Amino acid sequence: GKMAQDMTEKELLKMELDQLKKEVKNERQMVSKTGKELKEYIESMAGDDPLLKGVPEDKNPFKEKGGCTIS
């Protein structure tokens, strides 16, 4: 496809319209309901969240394999 800066105003508006046609089909829910559900889910998963509790050294695939020396 073309980059946005290479498109005519008509093409940009058509693209925006196509996107809005897709978005209008999305099911909507109240944030007051989904926010509470999201909070409960996050709290229930917190015990297994590596961002909160860290990753054990022996299970970390990104651990440094060795040092680096510059001579």
Across the chain, mean pLDDT equals 89
pTM, full prediction: 0.44
Length of the chain: 71
Note the CATH number of domain 4-59: 4.10.260.10
Q: Which residue type is seen at 19? A: Q
Residue 57 confidence class, pLDDT cut points 50, 70, 90: confident
Residue labelled with tokens 């680096």: 68
Residues 6+ apart with CB under 8 A from 7: 15
Give residue 1's pLDDT band: very low, low, confident or very high (50, 70, 90): low
Distance of CA 47 to the CA centre of its chain: 21
How far is the C-alpha of 30 from the C-alpha of 38, rounded, in Å?
12
